Structure 1
Amino acid sequence: MKTDTFALRHIGPRETDLQHMFKTIGVSSMEQLIYETLPDDIRLKSDLNLEPAMTEYEFAKHIFTLGNKNKVFQSYIGLGYNQSIIPAVIQRNIFENPGWYTAYTPYQAEIAQGRLEAILNFQTMVIELSGMEIANASLLDEGTAAAEAMALLFDVRTRDQKKNNICKFFVSEEILPQTLSVLQTRSTPIGVELVIGNHETFDFSTDFYGAILQYPGKHGQVNDYSGFISKAKTNEIKVAVAADILSLALLTSPGEMGADVVLGTTQRFGIPLGYGGPHAAYFATKEEYKRSMPGRIIGVTVDTNGNRALRMALQTREQHIKRDKATSNICTAQVLLSVMAGMYAVYHGPKGLQYIANKVHASAITLANELEKLGLHQINTAYFDTIAIKVDAKKVLIIAEQNEVNFYYIDENTVSISLNETTSIADLNLIVSVFAQANDKQASTIIKLSENSQLPSSLERTSPFLQHDVFNKYHSESALMRYIKMLERKDLALNHSMISLGSCTMKLNAASEMLPLSMPQWNNIHPFAPLNQVQGYQEMLAKLEQQLNEITGFAGTTLQPNSGAQGEYAGLMVIRAYHQSRGDHHRNIALIPSSAHGTNPASAAMAGMKVVVTKTLENGNIDVDDLREKAILHKDNLSCLMVTYPSTHGVFESAIKEITQLIHDNGGQVYMDGANMNAQVGLTNPATIGADVCHLNLHKTFAIPHGGGGPGVGPICVAPQLVPFLPTNPVIATGGEHAITAISAAPWGSALVCLISYGYICMLGAEGLKSSTEHAILNANYIKERLNGYYDTLYSGEMGRAAHEMILECRPFKEKGIEVTDIAKRLMDYGFHAPTVSFPVAGTLMIEPTESEDLAELDRFCDAMISIRKEIEAANADDSNNVLKNSPHTLAMITTDNWMYPYTREQAAFPLDYIADNKFWPTVRRADEAYGDRNLVCSCAPIEAYMEN
């Protein structure tokens, strides 16, 4: 046994387990299982052409050496990205802790109360700093958050504005350049006309429905927008403000000025630069717009006993409900990063944030004063952290690079300098010396920071913020460490047990893949650093793109989309650009099977396409006859087909090549949703089945952790004809020769976590990747056969096999009064997170074990499911007082003196022997969904204040 191979550690089943698993499934070998699962005509004829697999030790050496090719300069570039200090207690206990980074999206509220509380803290922080009424649980980055604001305000236009098709949206020329590019991408397909101009000369025409302002502006100028917002309101123009969140500790909040939406990034609240991401954006608005709000909202409710509980609120807004009527396709957010940013505010509290903001502001004033002494002119009349200096920029650039310092060069005569919380007096003296040398002057030495202010008195913040106890009691490391641990204990993550969510691929996030994220040569690089300083990043990203090209069979890849849903959107926008380049502007029909994930039709609608739904057969496959009929009917306007493969029903459809050819024959392109790539890698690929573009969920198949709902990365891989249209960035050019505008704010999206997928591929190699896919299929079919006779599998392939996931039929249990939700909640008592509930078929469970789970864990899960099936059989439809309906059982229930249930405490909490070795206790009983929606509270206010009379 080669103990230094990564595959040995990543893949769960041992070699000695295989014969038992084969016997259970009814095959003699892995080869037979794969033959019976995959159609032969889509099997790859040769192995992937990848470099030999590295050992974990070799990869550690490689990534350290590669990281040293990056030059970590002091970056004062700004433009929405600032170096920050990650408190060590947060880095060690959250960022590097699998109890936090391996958790899933908190759909199962009862086993996610810790994460939900941390995100509620984040929302409270955002509401109070922004001065708004309601906030969500983080978005992807500032650029996409601005685009969501544009779309929300478009959605909530007045009746007359909609009737008169008022569609102009004013964008201040002060907006960040990458934000403008994302707005340009997102506006045209939905019918919004952007008008870019000076907010001081804006005429408030009634042709406009909304506007967006930057606070402070892109080069640091702080403007008082209260007059602008007041005039806009008079003309029924709603206003969004993109605001630097740290500045709001000192500046009047946009909410107090009357803004309708406030958004931005929380990156400077203890989140590493990471060459552009991942970072948590924030988004806050008025309560009246809550049902048009993108993303997730964490809300306060009560549980079965009337005790306070947290949950994801307003879930009817999710895309699986609204589909093509959705105003947003947000699925993955940046939860892990929002947890960190919220905990940064908890650790520092209001006084700490004010101290940090004052220090940054004082540093900017001190620097401006010293540069003025050199005879240089600083042009901002009011500023927070960024000054703009009139100077010979070329001379400054040469000397700055010699001193390992980066500024932002606005033009030949203007240099912008954005300071941050890491800036010391020594740093300021170095900056001054650079400018002095460039101007042949002698610099004086700064000894202390200025105590003056460059903020107008009218804009100085007077309103309090972060008054809740949570922001005022955990300011020592021991206190915060224990608070974080208390929350962690309330959450079930992969470090406790298998999370068998179908379509979500909750696989091992190996420590060797994660360790580089803490290295400063990787996490401390500005996304707009000059390319000659980021050779390590450029080599890694280019290699990852090549690896993904090889895995998918495609010709080009962009890593820019920072979620799977953004990847969907990017793929459709590239298809759109391709058609337009051929003069086919009219091709706007997207065919989407009825079984598709809800983000598919939502993304199509956002890309300006008309959704035509195609039927599925009783066996779950695409109805080829219906598809043919609709493809021919719409052949003159057909843009694309969106297809998931293997299907959302967990089956490799044998007609897939016929389906893709049918679309091509009628002038369309094929978009393949990569949610189920874990069943393809090394065995088949999107190019082989006939697709033209696919997105990949790197947070699924390629091992980036889910982090409680994010970060995610959703690159798209494309066929040769689509390569020219891959997206660019306005600051650092990327993409093809006919590139579409930006999909996300940073040139390479969430580049830092791409290290994880790079490591995953490098350490597995071609053989390991193929073996991972085979074992994912093996594990799924093992569960399928072990549960046979207890649960029916809804769909199977032509030879009776599942792909990497399966759907269990649970609807007949209603005869016993048991709903699928009861099974999901009861699994918590057995120490397991529920599989995917009621998707894609209502009343079912979709199970995906992944290759990472060993035989013992698979058996524990199967034993739990079989035990629950026996409990269902014993249930009485006329009596809801049973172990299933009362689940989950909390520690408080089990230890009460008053036990009122017709089953024992042991049956409730310890139904199988293995549970006693590692018992997980849900901290609340079932959360009351309806109560939480009727009484929406998304901040830290006590629940007593909102109880119904």
Structure 2
Amino acid sequence: MSQNAPTLRDLEHHDAFVARHIGPNDAEMAQMLEVIGYDSLDAMTDAIVPGAIKSQQPMALTGAVTEEEALARIRAMADRNQVFRSFIGQGYYGTHVPAVIARNILENPAWYTAYTPYQAEISQGRMEALLNFQTMVADLTGMEIANASLLDEATAAAEAMTLAKRSSKSKSNLFYVADTVHPQTLEVLRTRAESLDIDLQVGPIEKAIDADSYGVLVQYPDTFGRIGDHAALAEAVHARKGVVAVATDLLALTLIASPGSWGADIVIGNSQRFGVPFGFGGPHAAWLACRDAYKRSMPGRLIGISVDAEGKLAYRLTLQTREQHIRREKATSNICTAQVLLAVMAGMYAVYHGPEGLTRIARRTHRLAAILAGALRSAGVEVGKDFFDTLYVSGVDAEAVLAKAREQHINLRGIDGGHIGISLDETSTREDVKALAALFGARIDDIDTLDASTDDALPPQAQRQDAFLTHPVFNTHHSETELLRYMRTLADKDLALDRSMIPLGSCTMKLNATAEMLPITWPEFANIHPLAPAEQTLGYKQLIDELEAMLVQCTGYDSISMQPNSGAQGEYAGLLAIAAYHRSRGEGHRHICLIPESAHGTNPASAQMCGMKVVVTKCDANGNVDLDDIREKAAKHANDLAAIMLTYPSTHGVFEEDVVAICETIHQHGGQVYTDGANMNALVGIAQPGKWGSDVSHLNLHKTFCIPHGGGGPGVGPCAVKSHLAPFLPRTLGGEGEVGMVSAASYGSASILPISWMYIAMMGPVGLRKASQAALLNANYVSKRLAPYYKTLYTGRNGLVAHECILDLRPLEKSTGISSEDVAKRLIDFGFHAPTLSFPVAGTLMVEPTESESLYELDRFCDAMIQIHEEITAIADGKADGEDNPLKHAPHTATMVMAAEWTHGYSREQAAFPLPVLKTHKYWPPVARVDNVYGDKNVMCSCAPIEAYMDEDA
């Protein structure tokens, strides 16, 4: 071997995943470091990060492994799971994921790497898909309006409880819940009601009619399968000015009367059985539908229809659906994440099958259930009446039957009192029905003969009479070819990470590697019911235990709960833990939460939901939290201080020097420190919040740890705590603990946890640290390159930023009238998603390039921003008109540029190809600038009538 030849270890290191995750190579990093004035990543890191918080020891993680090794290890975990035939039900049902949807949405980066559609012009495809979802839900439920997904059915029920509270004209504080609602929903309702001081009463549905309540929640069909008649209840509740909320099943609603037809005001549920696997509990897209009168109070995101600058139909987020950013501590919900990717899948499932296909699936499922019920009754087994797909079996030796079923790899639902639940679904077969009957001593020789002699079990008065899904979109794309082309058409309208950099500050749009994504579709992870017995889920236990241990090393905390299925849910869980900790010490009166005025809007909303009172603290002229103000307010409220919520690095993109002193101050006055984990991408391997004095953080696995944003969700927001708070993490379903569940499934969106496990395993401790340093480097490179053109509003030590920088466009707007929104829209013409617009400071753009962007892409972005500055300068110099210029009319569609008549004072070429590279690499936005005012004045949140499309074509 020659002296300079690479060793085997060198060759193996070169092939490591780290080099593929981090955009710039070492030579490019050296070039970038020279631009910002440092000779190494470590020197730069020392210049940026306060010494008081830097980790003294490397993380105790195993070294990086290759993609192949990581896949082999996680395959071994998957093999420890046992995939039994599941008839457990309880809100989760087997479903066939159409292969065309699995391949072209779930596994397609054009869909899973997209961001939330805050920039409407480059999100038309996914918003059309979400509008389909909303229309599907509204049609099936019989309601006037539906949102574009919530996190899960249980949290949707909690949102319904609070929506009913603010919508009801009743003066009562009592919310009555039927005891036939799913158990996990009851758990989450209890948690939410306790912290909001709502009087929650759970009892027999028969007593709901007499309860003096502001609202009632019923399950329809209920958790035991029965289809009740609730029309009289609805009438009675309305007579006392109350609100009727209903939890329901979309597939059942193809056959039974819609809740809206018999008096429901709010309807919630889960779309999981519309083509989304069990996934051990998630992610799945829940939803909330309601009367139109409630639309300005409903939680979550809402897609609406407006027009663009050319008068064409265009979609947009409507009605300020992130209302917590406006109302802050007065917000009624902290919902920030939706489940967009799963909502798109469920909506496409309805598009693919159409009303006839869905009805056929539902009728087949019901017939199998009815046939099984007939067979059981013929064998003397007692079975409940009036059901859709779920049998309630009584009078048997339940333990013996359940044990016998498990021997045959069948899971049934054991119900207290010696009862058994059996839920059939789309995946159930004739052979399943025979096997299930045999468990109870019933024999089926000829299913067709039994079918002919068995009546339906749908009560006549509950059968659906009205049509649904009549819009052409649900009656057109039923061949795979047509659906494939429809999904491709929608994807082509959007700008996702598979096309270009998405430089959103505070959102960390980084590589979602294919190897990380592969395991989530393996049946050993995808096809496990969340209530499967523990001995069948040993692989999931190993995965969750190992990921928790990895995240403990990354954060410096001691314990982690994976239950929260969004960042906002993680915040909520962390604050609940703090509140419970204070109660355990006899200090339940502590309720003051200090929150800096620069904080993310979910922070005060989460504090309010936990029953805390928000006290806002000041920031100084440099954007840092004001330590003196914190000390003053902590001392003032010392007797009642519960917590402070900090974001670190700060929302302004800098490492503040005083974070340790802040922690000490809060602890001195009896409070706890909550550190928002939104900006953890700047910390992993460099500093650990749990080691510098913080008590709790949530982590955004959909940011720092590579779970894709999926067009606005799924998200995962684990809650990490120091040991003294560990007893107060959310309990699991049926488990013990002081704090109740915050999500429907014990381990939240478990099926996407393999993504983060794969990322950490393939990066290793050295790679994770280098990724954080690269994120710092990329942000400072962008800031430095753009410094002659745009001032970075806030900087920290040595004039440097953390992982993001805020570009101040306010001086340019003052001199030229060109706003930050104009720049954001003009960037679309260059093929870029805009940075974060006007947050946390109005009139600014917050840029976070992440570690995954190459030097080429960073320069391409900087070149675009410099060219935009030249266009603004032309206006300032009088060379371009203040109104008729490329920025005010951006973005430019192909139809605008190709129009027969061009009336602008700038050229078509400048409009469409402001830089030469765009002539070979061009994204054309499908619509011109969307009219937000028109959309707010003309709220329309379901599929437009076909005439609207005909007018557009004309």
TM range (shorter): over 0.9
Paired residues of 1:392 and 1:412 also in contact (CA < 8 A): no
User: Hey, what's the Cα distance between the residues in 2 that align with 1:515 and 1:797?
Assistant: 40
Deviation string, structure 1 residues 417-467 (Cα, Å, up to 9, x no partner): 00010001011112122222xxxx655453577363111111000010000
Change (3 A) 1:7 1:670: same
Task: Tell me the residue number matched to 2:264.
Answer: 259
Task: Tell me the residue number matched to 1:156.
Answer: 167
Deviation string, structure 1 residues 465-517 (Cα, Å, up to 9, x no partner): 00000000000000000000000000000000000100000000000000111
- Give 3-state SS (helix, strand or coil) of 1:119's partner: helix
Task: Tell me the residue number matched to 1:376.
Answer: 381
Match of residue 540, structure 1, among 529, 543, 555 = 543
**Paired amino acid for 1:397:** L
Q: Is structure 2 residue 112 aligned with structure 1 residue 101?
A: yes
**Paired amino acid for 1:859:** D
Q: How does 1:735-774 map to 2 (within 5 A)?
A: 738-774=737-773
Task: Tell me the residue number matched to 1:360.
Answer: 365
Deviation string, structure 1 residues 80-103 (Cα, Å, up to 9, x no partner): 000111000100000000000000
**Paired amino acid for 2:447:** I
Q: How does 1:786-865 map to 2 (within 5 A)?
A: 786-814=785-813, 815-865=815-865
Q: How does 1:491-502 map to 2 (within 5 A)?
A: 491-502=494-505
Match of residue 190, structure 1, among 177, 192, 196 = 196
1:189 Cα offset (Å): 1.6
Deviation string, structure 1 residues 563-597 (Cα, Å, up to 9, x no partner): 00010111001111111111111100000000000
Match of residue 695, structure 2, among 687, 692, 697 = 692
Q: Is structure 2 residue 398 aligned with structure 1 residue 398?
A: no
Deviation string, structure 1 residues 196-239 (Cα, Å, up to 9, x no partner): 1112133434x311110001111111101111101111111111
**Paired amino acid for 1:907:** Q
- Structure 2-normalised TM-score? 0.96
1:808 Cα offset (Å): 0.4
- Give 3-state SS (helix, strand or coil) of 1:41's partner: coil
Paired residues of 1:570 and 1:716 also in contact (CA < 8 A): yes
1:316 Cα offset (Å): 6.4
Task: Tell me the residue number matched to 1:701.
Answer: 704
Q: How does 1:516-665 map to 2 (within 5 A)?
A: 516-665=519-668
- Give 3-state SS (helix, strand or coil) of 2:267's partner: strand
Change (3 A) 1:630 1:906: same
Q: Is structure 2 residue 670 aligned with structure 1 residue 681?
A: no
1:411 Cα offset (Å): 3.0
**Paired amino acid for 1:493:** A
**Paired amino acid for 1:46:** Q
- Give 3-state SS (helix, strand or coil) of 2:75's partner: helix
User: Hey, what's the Cα distance between the residues in 2 that align with 1:75 and 1:621?
Assistant: 54
- Give 3-state SS (helix, strand or coil) of 1:263's partner: strand
User: Hey, what's the Cα distance between the residues in 2 that align with 1:448 and 1:291?
Assistant: 54
User: Hey, what's the Cα distance between the residues in 1 that align with 2:892 and 2:450?
Assistant: 57
- Give 3-state SS (helix, strand or coil) of 1:896's partner: coil
- Give 3-state SS (helix, strand or coil) of 1:730's partner: coil
User: Hey, what's the Cα distance between the residues in 2 that align with 1:680 and 1:150?
Assistant: 38
Task: Tell me the residue number matched to 2:334.
Answer: 329
Q: Is structure 2 residue 436 aligned with structure 1 residue 425?
A: no
Deviation string, structure 1 residues 785-812 (Cα, Å, up to 9, x no partner): 1111110000001211110001000011
**Paired amino acid for 2:102:** Q
1:944 Cα offset (Å): 6.5
Paired residues of 2:816 and 2:882 also in contact (CA < 8 A): no
Deviation string, structure 1 residues 686-705 (Cα, Å, up to 9, x no partner): 11221100000000000000
**Paired amino acid for 1:77:** I
Task: Tell me the residue number matched to 1:388.
Answer: 392
Change (3 A) 1:661 1:903: same
Q: Percent identity?
A: 54
Task: Tell me the residue number matched to 2:55.
Answer: 44
1:943 Cα offset (Å): 8.7
Task: Tell me the residue number matched to 2:468.
Answer: 465
Change (3 A) 1:157 1:201: closer
Deviation string, structure 1 residues 353-402 (Cα, Å, up to 9, x no partner): 10000011001001111112222111x22000000112101111221111
Paired residues of 2:654 and 2:794 also in contact (CA < 8 A): yes
1:925 Cα offset (Å): 0.6
Deviation string, structure 1 residues 338-364 (Cα, Å, up to 9, x no partner): 000000000000000100000110010
User: Hey, what's the Cα distance between the residues in 2 that align with 1:151 and 1:762?
Assistant: 41
User: Hey, what's the Cα distance between the residues in 2 that align with 1:528 and 1:765?
Assistant: 33
Paired residues of 2:178 and 2:208 also in contact (CA < 8 A): no
Task: Tell me the residue number matched to 1:217.
Answer: 222
User: Hey, what's the Cα distance between the residues in 2 that align with 1:900 and 1:143?
Assistant: 55
1:274 Cα offset (Å): 0.3
- Give 3-state SS (helix, strand or coil) of 1:502's partner: coil
In terms of mean alpha carbon deviation, does 310-319 or 445-454 score higher? Answer: 445-454
Change (3 A) 1:442 1:448: closer
- Give 3-state SS (helix, strand or coil) of 2:799's partner: coil
Task: Tell me the residue number matched to 2:178.
Answer: 172
User: Hey, what's the Cα distance between the residues in 2 that align with 1:315 and 1:881?
Assistant: 29
Paired residues of 1:128 and 1:465 also in contact (CA < 8 A): yes
- Give 3-state SS (helix, strand or coil) of 1:363's partner: helix
Task: Tell me the residue number matched to 2:306.
Answer: 301
User: Hey, what's the Cα distance between the residues in 2 that align with 1:443 and 1:153?
Assistant: 48
**Paired amino acid for 1:212:** L
**Paired amino acid for 1:797:** G
Task: Tell me the residue number matched to 1:85.
Answer: 96
Paired residues of 2:571 and 2:603 also in contact (CA < 8 A): yes
Task: Tell me the residue number matched to 1:33.
Answer: 44
Match of residue 719, structure 1, among 719, 722, 729 = 722
Task: Tell me the residue number matched to 2:155.
Answer: 144
Task: Tell me the residue number matched to 1:875.
Answer: 875
User: Hey, what's the Cα distance between the residues in 2 that align with 1:555 and 1:542?
Assistant: 13
User: Hey, what's the Cα distance between the residues in 2 that align with 1:433 and 1:468?
Assistant: 44
Q: Is structure 2 residue 91 aligned with structure 1 residue 65?
A: no
Task: Tell me the residue number matched to 1:204.
Answer: 210
**Paired amino acid for 1:294:** P
Gaps of 5+ in 2: 1-10
Paired residues of 2:472 and 2:946 also in contact (CA < 8 A): no
**Paired amino acid for 1:118:** A
Q: Is structure 2 residue 20 aligned with structure 1 residue 20?
A: no
How many pairs were matched up? 932
**Paired amino acid for 1:126:** V
1:685 Cα offset (Å): 1.1
Paired residues of 1:595 and 1:840 also in contact (CA < 8 A): yes
User: Hey, what's the Cα distance between the residues in 1 that align with 2:157 and 2:920?
Assistant: 49
**Paired amino acid for 1:821:** E
Gaps of 5+ in 1: none
User: Hey, what's the Cα distance between the residues in 2 that align with 1:494 and 1:945?
Assistant: 31
Change (3 A) 1:938 1:449: farther
User: Hey, what's the Cα distance between the residues in 1 that align with 2:232 and 2:510?
Assistant: 52
Match of residue 290, structure 1, among 278, 291, 295 = 295
- Give 3-state SS (helix, strand or coil) of 2:57's partner: coil
User: Hey, what's the Cα distance between the residues in 1 that align with 2:29 and 2:235?
Assistant: 70
Paired residues of 1:301 and 1:310 also in contact (CA < 8 A): yes
User: Hey, what's the Cα distance between the residues in 2 that align with 1:386 and 1:448?
Assistant: 22
In terms of mean alpha carbon deviation, does 422-431 or 633-642 score higher? Answer: 422-431
Paired residues of 2:299 and 2:321 also in contact (CA < 8 A): no
1:250 Cα offset (Å): 0.3
User: Hey, what's the Cα distance between the residues in 2 that align with 1:20 and 1:448?
Assistant: 78
User: Hey, what's the Cα distance between the residues in 2 that align with 1:8 and 1:80?
Assistant: 43
Change (3 A) 1:23 1:449: farther
Paired residues of 2:322 and 2:335 also in contact (CA < 8 A): no
